[in-house]
Amino acid sequence: MNLKLNQILKKFFFDSSCSICKKEVEDDEIYICKKCREKIEKEKSLHVRKNIYYLFEYKNEIRKLIIDYKLNGRKELSCFISKIIEDEIIKIIRENSIDVVIPIPMSEERFLLRGFNQVELILDNIGINYKKAKRKKETIPMHKILEKDVRKINIKSVFQCDFSVNNKNILIVDDIVTTGTTMLEMIKSLEETGKPKNIYIFAISVAPTFYKKFL
């Protein structure tokens, strides 16, 4: 088989379009073309507000990239995303003497659908150790919930941590923070588990709904 035919077949069987501009990528590029790669690198900047760190506003190129990575299951994009965040996240861990890194857990349904946890995969690529928090299962069937119980159930934490957090500096990691609800749930669970020293947040991107309200 000559090279040309090989390339034609490859293009036929694999969608090799760029996640961002949708143009065909070169053979040595995986799901992202050079131009878009450079754009993202240029747009990146580390923002710090209180205990929250983030690299991008969730819009334009980074939004397209994360959507393609997560929703279209383009797992290979994790290599590029890892490279973008690597230096900054390592610096944050070092400077804040982080003891425990916790990625936000996915729901079981989403995990089954996607087959991978997008944040864990990125941390694995960089070689960062982390502890897994669990998402609690809803034990009471919805139709059995009485009006008076609703509040009680809502204030119960969603996550569960089976490890010590006492006197530890903790870094919670997520790809996008939209409303901040999940982050608050995670913080609540940590505070229910023990007495952490400091809790920091690292998000690859933050949606305007969040930073306009909180940052």
Interface contacts to Zn ion, rule CB under 5 A: 18, 20-21, 33, 36
Kindly tell me which of 33 and 165 has the beta carbon lying closer to Zn ion.
33
Kindly tell me which of 41 and 191 has the beta carbon lying closer to Zn ion.
41
Burial of 23 (0-12, 13-18, 19+ CB in 10 A): exposed
Q: How far is the CB of 167 from Zn ion (least distance, A)?
A: 46
77-95 and 34-43 helices cross at what angle (nearest 10)?
20
β-pair partners for 101 = 171
Kindly tell me which of 64 and 135 has the beta carbon lying closer to Zn ion.
64
Q: How far is the CB of 112 from Zn ion (least distance, A)?
A: 31
Kindly tell me which of 18 and 186 has the beta carbon lying closer to Zn ion.
18
Q: How far is the CB of 62 from Zn ion (least distance, A)?
A: 13
Q: How far is the CB of 23 from Zn ion (least distance, A)?
A: 5
